[in-house]
Amino acid sequence: RRQPVVSETLAARMRFVMEADRLKSVTRGTTIHDGSRRENSAEHSWHIMLWALTLQEHSTQPVRIERVLQMLLLHDLVEVDAGDNPIHGTFDAAAVAAQEQAAATRIFGLLPAVQSAPLRAIWDEFEAAASPDAIFAKSLDRAQPLTCNLATDGGSWRDYNVTRDQIETRVGVKVKRGAAAVWDALCPEIDAWFAANT
Amino acid sequence: RRQPVVSETLAARMRFVMEADRLKSVTRGTTIHDGSRRENSAEHSWHIMLWALTLQEHSTQPVRIERVLQMLLLHDLVEVDAGDNPIHGTFDAAAVAAQEQAAATRIFGLLPAVQSAPLRAIWDEFEAAASPDAIFAKSLDRAQPLTCNLATDGGSWRDYNVTRDQIETRVGVKVKRGAAAVWDALCPEIDAWFAANT
Ligand SMILES: [Ca+2]
C-alpha cells in the first residue's frame, strides 16, 4: 500500500482528539439518573449539549445555538488535567482556576495555532460568562446535575449535606440568569425534596 | 414560594432530555482508549463531535459544521430503545433498522411537534447518508472506534476475529468517502497492527 503523507496540521489535530479520550475517565460528584455509577465529564458534556439544542427557546436572552454547542463541547476539556471539582465540595477556587488555565494552555495548545486560538477564546468566553451564549451554556451546566440528584433521592446533596439555601445561592442564581423557565420547571421538585429531607 | 406555571412545551422537552440520560448506559463493542472499560454511546457521541469540530477541514466535501454537530449529537439516541450493534458483530440489518425507526418515532415523539419533526429529519438525513454533512458525520462515527482498537492492541478486532479486508470493506470505504485524509492518517497504524497480528 502507498504511504500517504499526513500533514503536521492533521497529525496535531489527531493528537488533540486522542488526548480528549481521557475526559471519559474524569468522574463527577453526581451519578447518572439510575444511580448505578458516577457520571463522567464526557457524557455530561454530551447531555448538556442535548439540553441546549432542546431548550434553546427557554434561554433568558437570545442565543446563537451553534456557539452554545461549541462551548459545551469544549467546556470541561481542561478536566483532563485539572479534574472535576464538585460544586458542593470544598476547594481553593483560585488554585483550581490557575490549574484550569494551565490545562487550557496545554490542551488547546496541542492544536495548530490557527485552531487553538479560537477554541481557547470560546472556552475563555464560557469561563467568564462573557456573553448571552456563555450565560445560557453555564445555566445548563448547573441545571443538569440537579436532575441527577432529583433522580437519585438527593444523590450528592446527601454526600455534601447541602441545604436548600445553598442550592439557591450556588446553583439557582446562575440557572435563573441563563434559563429562568428551566429553573421554574425544576423548582417544585427541588423544594419538595428539601422539605421532606432536611 | 410561588409555583410558576410550566408550559406543556417545556415539560415535554424536559421529559425528552431526562429520557436521553439512558444513552449513558448503552455500552459499545469498543473500550475507551485506556482499555479500562467499554465505551458508552453518550460519551462516544461527545467524542466524535469533538472530532468533527477539530477535523472539519479534512472533510472530503465542504460541510456546515453546525449541522454535522447536530447530527452527531442525535445520531445514537435511538439506542436508548434499540441498543448498539457492533459493526463486526452479526445482526439482522433489516430488523435493526426497523427497531431504530420505531425508537426514533418514540423518542423524538417525546418532543413538541414543532421540534420533533426537524430533529427526526436530521436523524433521517444522517441515517441515509443523504448529504455531505451526513457523509462526513458517518465517516467520523466509523473512524473513532478504529482508534479505540488501535489504542488497546486490537480491542474488539480480537473479539470478532476481524481481518484487514473486513476493515477495508466495512469501515475504510465509508471513512474515505467522508474524510479521506483521516483515513490516510490512520492507515499506517492499522496496516501495521494487522501485519503483526493476523
Ligand atoms: Ca465541570
The predicted-structure confidence for B40-96, as pLDDT tens digits, reads as follows: 999 999 999 999 999 999 999 999 999 999 999 999 999 999 999 888 888 899 999
- Does the residue B2 lie in any domain? no
Domain that holds residue B76: 8-197
Question: Given an 8 Å threshold on Cβ–Cβ distance, is A115 in contact with B66?
Answer: no
Does a structural domain hold residue A64? Answer: yes
Tell me, what DSSP letter sits at residue A111?
Answer: S
Judge: B73–A13 Cβ closer than 8 Å, yes or no: no
Residues B10-27: what's their mean pLDDT?
98
CB pairs under 8 A between A and B: 144
**Chain A: closest CA distance from residue B145 (Å):** 11
At B2 the pLDDT is: 55
A70 in contact with B at a CB cutoff of 8 Å? yes
Does A1 map to a domain?
no
User: Model confidence at B160, in pLDDT bands (50, 70, 90)?
Assistant: very high
Beta-carbon contacts of residue A135 (< 8 Å; ≥ 6 apart): A60, A61, A129, A177, A178
- Residue A84 lies inside a defined structural domain of this protein: yes
Q: Enumerate the β-bridge partners of residue B31.
A: B38
Structural domain includes residue B1: no
pLDDT of A22 > 80? The answer is yes
Name which of A20-34, A88-102, B107-121, B166-180 the model is least confident about.
A88-102
What separation in angstroms does the CA of A198 have from each of A154, A184, B1? 11, 21, 17
Cα(A86) to ligand 1 centroid in Å equals: 8
Residue B31: phi and psi, rounded to 5, are -100, 170
Region of B21 on the Ramachandran plot (φ > 0 left; ψ -120 to 50 alpha; else beta) = alpha
- How far away, in angstroms, is A100 Cα from ligand 1 center? 10
pLDDT in the model for residue A3: 61
Q: Is residue A2 part of a domain?
A: no
- Residue contact B6–A53, C-beta within 8 A: no
Can you give the CATH number for the domain in which B74 is found? 1.10.3210.10
- Written as one letter, the residue type at A49 is M
3-state secondary structure of A168: helix
pLDDT band at A171 (very low <50, low <70, confident <90, very high): very high
ipTM of the complex: 0.96
- Total domains in chain B come to 1
Estimate to the nearest angstrom the gap between the alpha carbon of A147 and the chain centroid.
Answer: 14
* Residue B129 domain-assigned (yes or no): yes
* Inside any domain, residue B187: yes
A4 touches chain B (CB under 8 A): yes
- The pLDDT, as a whole number, for residue B45 is 98
Q: Which residues of A touch B13 (CB under 8 A)?
A: 54-55, 58
pLDDT at B167: 97
* Calpha distance B54→A149 (Å, rounded): 33
